[in-house]
Amino acid sequence: MCSSDLRVSMEKMTVHINAFAKDETVLLRIETPQETISKKFTFAELMNPSFILQSLGGPLAMMLLPQLIPGSQTNIAELPKLDINWRCYYDNLAVGKSTLRVYRIEAKLPGGFQVAATISKAGEILKIELPDNIVLLNEALVSL
């Protein structure tokens, strides 16, 4: 089964994301010193960020909400479905002196935020680009 795994550790929070191509699901696990949240979403559910925020609830949702939806409401259940402009295409990634054929997924979020992911043809997440010039690299790329 083809799957991708991502783990991001911050000061007091670790986020694990596991994507499974076979059943088109994503498992999200958020660990803090106070609690652990684990939720499974279908790819279709990922098209509705307000549903994801509602499912997660708690401080994480409130932290992300203002950045995703300017002037956001406090009642997550009343949030409209967001119209996110996705763009997916084949791209080339320079790895040393070689070029690797990859998938590139870009999304323009409300508020002018842009995110992008570079994924190998085998389904590995190689690079994620977030707002404020935050770049997450697969550890295999860092060692090259």
65 shares its domain with 104: no
pLDDT over 60 (residue 75): no
Q: Are residues 23 and 58 in the same domain?
A: yes
Same domain, 73 and 7: yes
Domain termination site, one of 45, 78, 111: 78
Looking at 53, 78, 103, the residue that finishes a domain is 78
Tell me: pLDDT of 71 over 70. Answer: no
Average pLDDT over residues 96-112: 85
Pairing of β 36-42 and β 85-95: unpaired
Q: How much of the chain, in percent, has pLDDT values that exceed 70?
A: 72
Residue 142, number of CB atoms within 10 A of its CB: 7
Write down the pLDDT at residue 67.
55
Residue 33 backbone phi and psi in degrees, to 5: -60, -25
Last residue of a domain, one of 47, 78, 109: 78
Which pLDDT value is given to residue 116? 92
Instruction: Convert the pLDDT of each residue in 32-55 to its tens digit.
Output: 888 888 888 888 887 776 677 677
Note the pLDDT of residue 144: 56
Host domain of residue 11 = 3-78
Reported pTM: 0.50
72 pLDDT band (50/70/90 cuts)?
Answer: very low
Domain count, the chain: 2
